[in-house]
Amino acid sequence: MIFSGLALVAIACTLVATSPINAAEVKTYPSGADSTGSARLIVNRSGNFGVDETMNLFVDGSEVAVLAYDESYDAPLPAGKHVLAIGTTPETFSDGTPKRLTITAEPGKTYTFTAVWPDPERAGLIEN
């Protein structure tokens, strides 16, 4: 009885281990982008953001970075309208929806934001 139970668990683990895992597509912007046709996006974690959670940065609904303590994101951003949002792991938003920020990136400009806790329930981005 115990042997058959262990055999079933082993078979289940084997099936799970061999099943493909489909990750969501992450939109990245090439670092060699021409500065005349793109802007630059920099997002920093504030010093007191916390050490028990990671900050997930989303651009236009796609996760582009997961930042741990003392990390930053710095990458080209195509010119045009973009929606920025951050989340945390573990999830800290009671309603599951992070605050979104819309920007219109202009070629050659740099947009710098810092991730902060404007209130105890919700992280957000402030423009520097």
DSSP letters, 85-102, are EEEEES---TTS---EEE
Mean pLDDT of 45-62: 89
Q: What is the pLDDT of residues 76-108, one digit of tens each?
A: 999 999 999 998 888 766 665 667 899 999 999
Instruction: Mark out the alpha helices in the chain (DSSP H runs).
Output: 2-18
Alpha-carbon distance 41 to 82, whole Å? 11
Position with higher pLDDT, 126 vs 18: 126
pTM of the model: 0.69
- Say which residue, 74 or 96, is predicted with more confidence: 74
57 compared with 28, residue with greater pLDDT: 57
Domain 27-127, what architecture? Sandwich (2.60)
pLDDT of residue 15: 38
Residue with tokens 């202009």: 106
Tokens representing residue 64 in the block: 């582009």
